[in-house]
Structure 1
Amino acid sequence: MLYAELLVSIINLSASQHSLLSTMVQTGHAVAVAFALNIAAGAATILGGMVVFNKRLVYLANPLSLAVALSISTGVMLFISLAEIFGESVDSLSQGIKTDDMSEDTAVGHGWLAAACCTAIGIGLIYLIDVVVKMISPEHDHTEIDNLENLQESMAFHDSKENQTIGTPVVELESQLSPNTNTGMYFKMDDTAKKNLQRMGLLSALAIGIHNVPEGIATYAGSIQNSSVGFSLAFGIGLHNIPEGIAVAAPIYFATGSRWRGIMWCVISAVAEPLGGVIAWLAIGDGMDHVSEGILFGLVCGIMVCICVKELLPTAFRFAGDKAHLVAMGIFFGMFIMITTFALNIAAGFATVLGGMVIFHKSLVHLANPVSLAVALSISAGVMLFISLVEIYGESVHLLTEGLKTEDMSEETATGHGWLGATACFAVGIFLIYGIDIIVHKISPEHEMTEIDNLEGIRESMEQFDHSKNNDIPSLDLETQTPNATPYVKMDPQAKQALQRMGVLSALAIGIHNLPEGIATYVGAIQNSSVGFSLAVGIGLHNIPEGIAVAAPIYFATGSRWRGIMWCAISAGAEPLGGVIAWLAIGDGMDPVSEGILFGIVCGIMVCICVKELIPTAYKFAKGKTHIVAFGMFTGMFIMVSSLTLFGYAGV
């Protein structure tokens, strides 16, 4: 009897140790993810500082682009702070404050009051930090946009000097030029001016670093609560850190002539983000009670909302100038990004528009060469095959087994029924794609040949156009020419009509194809956000060449780039439409059998698209370089293994 009791005690002790070890491992992974997100958000400051390295980066980081980035950041952070973090603060405080003799309503009221107070303290904390920042760097408010515009003007001036044929000596931007914004004239700086400009950059770095500490605390706390909340905060904070990097790097670059010194101070400023994470980690320790957790979330909510309303929004409006509607649209877009399932549909569909963008510039055409697209399609195939067969098919078998099992049925029989049902649904998904293909071929018989032909047509046209310009040959306007003839001639109305019809029919055909892909992405995201994200990446990659197939013929037929993009957008709209259809079908939820059937069909759709369309098209683009396709597929699969492993550790 004594031995039996001793044995039970040992077993219980081992179980408790195992449970403790498991909890420690899970906590360790959550901490690692939280710190990784902190580092990523801080690194965006360095990304902003990189604009001093290349004039193209300077023009890419124009005020309107940064206005959009800041407004999207505002939308993301406002939504996640008010919709998630504040609610979590109220719940935690209500649970922590409630006593046995207190009613539920009173506890909830106390929770709301306490959460509101903590949010107010968070707002006050940012105002207090701002007082410190203004003492350190009074110029901080005006650095981002001024430095960006000065950098653009300096680069433009430097280029114009280089292009002049007169023997005017070029003043080297690296070490001598400083823009005078009042006169618009450029002059060599004396040592005092250099010193003042360098001081402004260093103080901006310190001021931004002080600001980054509470942001790091917020990202860490949000990530510990929920990794998706942490990711959203890191994304929002990262977007608004980009112009701050410009504020640090530009003046140091102008003062010292050293790009790397500017980047070094960006790094110092960025380190404050993970430092905030360390402070939060030390404060939280191994965990907190409900009240402490609620207080922390309330403070985080106040910090984030204050940063949005007090800093991001005014700066975004300042960058936008008279185009204030861009800020409103950016905020709505940022909020919409947070509605994950439909956002994934829209992101995947938008890749079609991205493909159509190649008609806007020859650099994009050369970037979207057949080999690049072969790599994109093969990675897409690897991603979609892996996620479909490893995750979605297994989920279909599991759900059908669970749904079909009865009390008098053995486990083996139920599992057999599950495999049989999943396989049948898998076959239905494959036949569904073949059925859609019959419709597509009736609508647009040329559909299979459009991507690579249109891509090569644009490349040849742009090269011919450039060649004729460089050799002073009177060239006909590319906007109204066909790429198929070697001597470039204007098309007659019938040829234009046929080419335009091909583009429009391609748009409709691709739109029909996008419907089941939209359904698949939505269903995957509902099951697991990591699965939905993976499918969206895979589908998005292969939508790029489809965008070329739509935009190119319409561009050559009508001379209008925007009309080509419009049809890309119509085609892309089918992706979220598929998500809406899936949402209406699923409603508030399904029983395991219905869910298993849906996952089986989705798996069949995805595998059929990979095997029947993506892989053959990738080989066609590769033009004999078959190893590219193989490596691309293995890369796609490896990306999925890595992602699912990380998502598993993070608990997503």
Structure 2
Amino acid sequence: MTREALLSLGLTTIVGLSMAVGSLLSFLVSKTNKRFLALSLSFSAGIMIYVSFMSILPEGIELIENSLGEHGKFIALGGFFSGMLVTALIEKIIHLFGGHSHCHDHAHAHNHHDEHEEHLSKLGLMSAVAIAIHNLPEGLALFTTGLKDISVAIPIALAIILHNIPLSIAISVPVYYSTGSKNKAFLYSLFVGLCQPLGAVIGYLLLSKFFSDTLFGILFSVIAGIMIFVSLDELLPSSQRYEDHHISVYGAIAGMIVMAIALNIFHHH
């Protein structure tokens, strides 16, 4: 690898490791605090929804249009909805082999507490898989940005770190609440975070000959679709399961505000 590639990979690895921070933060709150769980999940959803619609998807559209003209936005939108479709299919496969998270057939065989723990355990796994999937191309996107200009990649990396922390909470909190194991919750988050440098390495080895603004634009568009689907299908519904739905809405709005401030600070920088 070139010096630029090593610097970019190092930056991507640091970003991936930031997911461990959110996992550690989640251990500071009592396991019985359902409001924290609800707020964590909805805050993560707000972060993902805002950054997808206000940053990642527009960036994808702009990159493709710069290469292919104004009709390139239709390719970007195709990538956006394809990201949703692929994530939905993967989720179906996970539920097929792991059982549906609501477990209606066994509702009378367990008490209410056990049902919540079982749901949380599967939610943690589903969140981990879904976020790992989006971390792979996101890591590649950050890495390739660093190859082009490391000074541009640094503020992007800071923005990703800001949403990595609540995303890791979305993984570690359900796992910790359901199993009581801090080690398992931490390792889940750490592994998912390391998917970012892993995606960078795999992408570099397989796609380095095909790097272009069009490819970057498609990757960004697909990432946005994945993040929106995870937010709408998993994070927000699960947040509302554990608290009044208003708490979920407030958490999502707070996540959007934090991401808006971060993106504007880095944009002006």
- CA distance 1:418–1:594, change in 2 (3 Å): same
Answer yes or no: is 1:512 the counterpart of 2:129: yes
Q: Do 1:433 and 1:608's aligned partners in 2 also have CA atoms closer than 8 Å?
A: yes
Q: How far, CA to CA, are the matches of 1:393 and 1:525 in structure 2?
A: 15
Corresponding residue for 2:107? none
Q: Residue type of the partner of 2:18?
A: A
Mapping 1:59-458, distance limit 5 Å: 339-348=10-19, 351-352=22-23, 355=26, 357=27, 364-366=30-32, 369-404=33-68, 414-415=69-70, 417-445=71-99, 447=101
Contact 1:517 1:575 in 2 (8 A): no
1:133 corresponds to which residue?
A: none
Q: 1:570 to 1:370 in 2, by over 3 A?
A: closer
Q: 1:393 to 1:585 in 2, by over 3 A?
A: same
Residue 554 of structure 1, CA deviation:
4.2
CA contact (8 A) 1:387 1:531 kept: no
| Distance across 2 between alignment mates of 1:506 and 1:376 | 13
CA distance in 1, matches of 2:263, 2:79: 25
The 5-angstrom pairing of residues 498-647 of structure 1 reads 509-523=126-140, 525-526=142-143, 527=145, 528-555=153-180, 561=181, 565-566=183-184, 568-570=186-188, 572-586=190-204, 590-622=211-243, 624=244, 626-647=245-266
Deviation at 1:341, TM superposition (A): 1.6
Assess if the C-alpha contact under 8 Å between 1:379 and 1:632 holds in 2.
Answer: yes
Which residue identity does 2:51 align to in structure 1?
I
Structure 1 residue 594 displacement after superposition? 1.0
Q: Residues of 2 paired with 1:591 and 1:423: CA distance?
A: 18
User: Cα distance 1:393–1:619, how it changes in 2: closer, same or farther (>3 A)?
Assistant: same
Contact 1:518 1:578 in 2 (8 A): yes
Counterpart of 1:344 in structure 2: which amino acid?
V
Aligned partners of 1:598, 1:620: CA distance in 2, in Å?
32
CA, structure 1 residues 506+373, in 2 after alignment: closer, same or farther (shift >3 Å)?
closer
Q: SS where residue 99 of structure 2 aligns?
A: coil
CA deviation digits over 1:577-608, x for unaligned, max 9? Answer: 34312332145581111111111111111111
1:236-259 C-alpha deviation (Å, 9 max, x unpaired): xxxxxxxxxxxxxxxxxxxxxxxx
- SS of the residue corresponding to residue 30 of structure 2 reads helix
1:576 Cα deviation from its structure 2 partner: 1.0
Counterpart CA distance in 2 for 1:570 and 1:635 is 25
- Higher RCO (C-alpha 8 Å, min separation 6): 2
1:543 is displaced (CA, Å) by 3.1
State the alpha-carbon separation in 1 of the partners of residues 177 and 257 from structure 2. Answer: 33
Give the TM-score of the pair, scaled to structure 2. 0.74
User: Aligned partners of 2:177, 2:41: CA distance in 1, in Å?
Assistant: 19
Mark the CA change 1:533 to 1:584 in structure 2 (over 3 Å): closer, same or farther: same
Give matches, 1:6-21, under 5 Å.
none
Amino acid at match of 1:641: A
Change (3 A) 1:447 1:541: farther
Give the C-alpha shift of residue 570 in structure 1: 4.5
Contact 1:510 1:571 in 2 (8 A): no
Distance across 2 between alignment mates of 1:398 and 1:443: 39
CA distance in 1, matches of 2:75, 2:233: 23
Relative distance call for 1:348 and 1:607 in structure 2 (3 A) is same
Is 1:383–1:633's contact at 8 Å kept on the other side of the alignment? yes
Structure 2 residue matching 1:364: 3-state secondary structure: coil
CA radius of gyration, larger in: 1
Query: Aligned in 2, Cα 1:371/1:522: closer, same or farther, shift over 3 Å?
Result: same
Displacement of 1:437 in angstroms is: 0.4
What's the C-alpha RMSD, in Å, of the aligned pairs? 3.5
Give how far 1:616 is off. Answer: 1.3
Cα displacement string for residues 45-85 of structure 1 (whole angstroms, at most 9, x for unaligned residues)? xxxxxxxxxxxxxxxxxxxxxxxxxxxxxxxxxxxxxx9xx
Partner in structure 2 of residue 227 of structure 1: none
- How far off its partner does 1:631 sit? 2.5
**CA deviation after TM superposition for structure 1 residue 544, in Å:** 2.2
CA contact (8 A) 1:508 1:571 kept: no
Q: Where does the alignment leave 5 or more consecutive residues of structure 2 unmatched?
A: 104-110, 146-152
Distance 1:646 1:530, change over 3 A: same
Code of the aligned partner of 2:172: G
CA contact 2:39–2:251 (8 Å) conserved in 1:
yes
Q: Residue 108 of structure 2 corresponds to which residue in structure 1?
A: none
Residue by residue over 1:442-465, the C-alpha shift from the partner in whole angstroms, topping out at 9 and shown as x without a partner, is 23225467xxxxxxx9xx9xxxxx
